[in-house]
Structures are given as structure tokens and as C-alpha cells.
Amino acid sequence: MISDASAPKVEPGFGNKPMRKVTPTGADECFVYVTLPGETEAVTAGRYARETNRQGVTTGRFVYGRSYLARADAVEIDPAELKLGARTYETVLMKGLFGALRDAGPDYWGRRVIEKHAGLTELGELDYLLHSPDDRAGALGFGLGQAPPAPVRVFNRTLDLARLQEIADRLATNKPRTTIAEAAQVEELLLLGTSMGGARPKTVVEDADGLWLAKFNRADDKWNMARVEHAMLLLARACGLLTATSRIDTIGDRDVLLVKRFDREKVAQGYTRARMVSALTLLRADETQRERWSYVVLAEELRRISADPKHDAAELFRRMLFNALISNIDDHPRNHAVIAPQREWRLSPAYDLTPSVPVSTDRRDLAMAAGDFGRWANARNMLSQAARFLLDPSEAGAMVDAMEEAVKGGWYAIARGVGVSEADCATIANAFAYPGFRR
């Protein structure tokens, strides 16, 4: 059992300084920090530890600190696994890593950046958490010092996008760095921009309005991903969905998609942070447990934890429809989340909306189960479980009709209006309202 007063089995105070060098720590324990609602400075929430037995089973344990539980403003880290309480929480799932901690760690791209900077192909799970930068998603932080470090107040600027694009290109193509200057460039990208879900090259930048996630095009993209994703966010908004704010910045001949961070709010003292937990955590699943990926089950989880369950369940139903109508087959549970800017949890704005063009026109599948017929992106399938989204049949049917009409009639004009080329529109045209949607 982890006690509030116990010390980590590593050098104390190490977590109080910026990580200027990525080296394996070998740590099996760390402190977990949280930025409370409305605040800009983190406090220590508890302790996390991993232990592997002789059979090779790794158990993760988390305990809230006694001093944290005594605070009147203490909040839970997540509403699924780690509710406020004095007990020691344990898990053997995901090699002992709790979902909420995984959500605050680096994504696939972030791991690549950290590994590149360390000169290693793999690190321990705690090393990824400890070396993930201060811009991570949500309100959590990690360190080896009992007191949390001061928050980072300096971010890359939108004016730096050209240089950041160049660095991202080098990392995406695995081009080796050969000089000290190149190592420093990787460090800059590492320190500011390795969280926030997904495998595409990205970083976090700042302007007068706040923080933005900058997503770069790749040389091997089949179309201008930045402009197409921007168009999908605008199309979703036109269909009545709550989405993240986005814009396109053009640097030379390269487009960059900027998506406003909805888990951060700029204030005079810095940035407040909203707690954020992925649908993967709410479903108590991992990336390999596809049988547990389900919009229907997620709707029931929202009904349990949301401060406005009827609104959020209906919003999730509309997002499921939208993903089916644009053939977004990358709608996996890490691309859905709940956030808590204050104490209460709500469905987050939609993000990572991207079309695809599968060959089949008869059947296309979503990443998550949508109804009685599994993952089929089909109107009948999604209507089969509408009641689980707190919708009556006529209300759900009207949503399907309205969404289909809006997507069919609106996608092309919106895409062209934001600069998607005629050639790219022709390439993605088969994504929208494919024939199998009504079969």
C-alpha cells in the first residue's frame, strides 16, 4: 500500500525541474498532480506505483494523498476508476496503467518524439509520463518530487510554424539527426507538443487568443488533410454538433490546421485546465479490446456521469450519425472524451473528424459498435438502439433525416469554401452519405 508520507524510490526533487534531457529513470513510483478548477497552479493529488510479480503480472496502484482529500476543493481524477476516497485503487489492465493516467500521457506521435530525443526505441511507461511535456491533455501532471513543478508559461508561437513543420517532417520520415543543433530542435518540439491524441505530426502553439494544437500535413497524404479536416469540423458545426474551433494557417506552400485547445482557458495568471478523460477510459478498455468499443455503452456511461445526460447522450448520437455519413472510420474511443472545466463532467467538443474512402459502397463500419448490427455505419443499425441515447423513435428518425440532408447538401460547398481543391473534393466525394447508409 502506498502511504501519503512515503518517499519515492528515486531521487527526490527530480520532478521539480523541466526535463531538459530524456533518460530512462527506472522509476516505479511517481506523484500525480492536478490543476484544480479555476486555478493555474497544480497541487499534489496522490501517488501512483507499479509492481511486477514473479509471474510477470504488473499491478498499478493509486492512492489520493490525505492532505489532498482534506481539501474542500478536491476533485476526482476521473469519474470511472479513480473517484475521491481513501482506498488504494488497483488495476492489472494495460500493464497496471490506469486509464486516466494513460489519457494524460503522450500519444503515438509524442512517444516517437520522446524516443527520438532519448535515442531509444522504447522506454518504460513511467518514463513516458514523466517526460511528457506540460502541454499534455487535461489537468494532470507527473513528477518524482512531492511538490509539483511550476507550470510552463512559454510556448512556441504561431510565428514558429515553419520551423516546427520542418522538424516534424524530419521526425515523420525518421531522418536521423546529426548535429547538436538538430538535437536541440527535437527538444523544442518535445517540450511543447507531444500529447493530445493521434499519430499525425503535431505540436502546441500560442497566439493572443490562447493555445492551439497545430496539425501538420505529411508528404504521403492522399489529400490536403489540414484543409479537409477543417472543412469537416465546419460541416459538423453546420449539422448542429459542438466542435472544437479551428482555422488554417498557410506557411509558404504548406497548410497547417490549428485546433483551439478546449481543455485550456487563458486568464491573466496563465491557463486554467479542464480535467479530461477519454471514452476509452470510460469504457474500461484499451486499444486492443475492440469488442468493448461501443457508442451504445458509451451513451450509458454518459447517462451515469454527465451533468446533463439527456443533452450529451443525444449529442453523442448525432456524432455517431455524422461519422457514419462522412465515412470517418477513425472514430475510435480516444477520439471521444469528457471534460470537467469545473467540478461536473460533460461530453467534450468533437475533434479529429476525418473522412475516408473505403472501396465498398454496400457496407462501411465505424470503429465502435453503433447498434444491433455491430459497427455497421447504417441508419437502421443506429436507430435500433436510439432509446439507449434517451431518444424516442420519431426524434431519432428526424435526426437521421436532417443529418443526411445536411451532409449531402453541404459538404462540397463548405470544403470548397475553405480552399479544398477540386481534385481533393473529387477524391473524397465517395465518403459522404454512401449508398449502404440507407440499406
At 244, is the secondary structure helix, strand, or coil? Answer: coil
- Give me the pLDDT at residue 112, please: 72
Higher pLDDT, 186 or 242: 242
Quickly state the pLDDT bin for 134 (edges 50, 70, 90).
Answer: confident
With a cut of 50, say whether residue 15 has pLDDT above it.
no
- Give me the pLDDT at residue 66, please: 97
- Give me the pLDDT at residue 13, please: 27
Query: 148-183: per-residue pLDDT in tens?
Result: 987 766 777 776 787 777 777 776 666 655 454 555
Burial 6-39 (b: 16+ CB within 10 A, else e): eebebeeebbeeebeebeebebbbbbbbbbbbeb
Query: 334-356: per-residue pLDDT in tens?
Result: 999 999 999 999 999 999 999 99
- Give me the pLDDT at residue 18, please: 38
Residue 254: other Cβ atoms inside 10 A: 16
With a cut of 60, say whether residue 309 has pLDDT above it.
yes
- Give me the pLDDT at residue 113, please: 72
- Give me the pLDDT at residue 121, please: 67
- Give me the pLDDT at residue 193, please: 42
Compute, in degrees rounded to 10, the torsion defined by CA atoms 146, 334, 168, 189. Answer: -10
Q: How distant, in Å, are the alpha carbons of 89, 155, 252, 353, 394 from that of 403?
A: 43, 39, 37, 15, 14
Query: 401-430: per-residue pLDDT in tens?
Result: 999 999 999 999 999 999 999 999 999 999
Quickly state the pLDDT bin for 125 (edges 50, 70, 90).
Answer: confident
Higher pLDDT, 6 or 210: 210
Question: How do beta strands 156-157 and 202-207 pair?
Answer: parallel
Phi, psi torsion values for 51, nearest 5 degrees: -145, 135
Segment 64-84 shows an average pLDDT of: 96
pTM for this predicted structure = 0.87
Single-letter amino acid, residue 145: G
- Give me the pLDDT at residue 6, please: 40
Q: How distant, in Å, are the alpha carbons of 79, 137, 190, 285 from that of 45?
A: 15, 17, 25, 24
Segment 73-78 shows an average pLDDT of: 96
Quickly state the pLDDT bin for 201 (edges 50, 70, 90).
Answer: confident
With a cut of 70, say whether residue 221 has pLDDT above it.
yes
Using the 8-state DSSP alphabet, how is residue 436 labeled?
A: G
With a cut of 90, say whether residue 324 has pLDDT above it.
yes
How far apart CA 319 and CA 37 sit, in angstroms, is 27
- Mean pLDDT computed over every residue of the chain: 86
- Give me the pLDDT at residue 150, please: 79
How far apart CA 378 and CA 371 sit, in angstroms, is 9
How far apart CA 4 and CA 120 sit, in angstroms, is 34
Higher pLDDT, 429 or 93: 429
Higher pLDDT, 178 or 319: 319
- Give me the pLDDT at residue 153, please: 67
Phi, psi torsion values for 387, nearest 5 degrees: -60, -30
Higher pLDDT, 171 or 69: 69
- Give me the pLDDT at residue 198, please: 54
Higher pLDDT, 59 or 110: 59
- Give me the pLDDT at residue 28, please: 87
Higher pLDDT, 429 or 199: 429
With a cut of 60, say whether residue 360 has pLDDT above it.
yes
With a cut of 50, say whether residue 273 has pLDDT above it.
yes
With a cut of 70, say whether residue 358 has pLDDT above it.
yes
- Those residues with Cβ within 8 angstroms of residue 81's Cβ, 6 or more apart along the chain or in another chain: 89, 91, 98, 99, 100, 281, 284
Contact 140, 82 (CB under 8 A): no
Segment 309-329 shows an average pLDDT of: 98
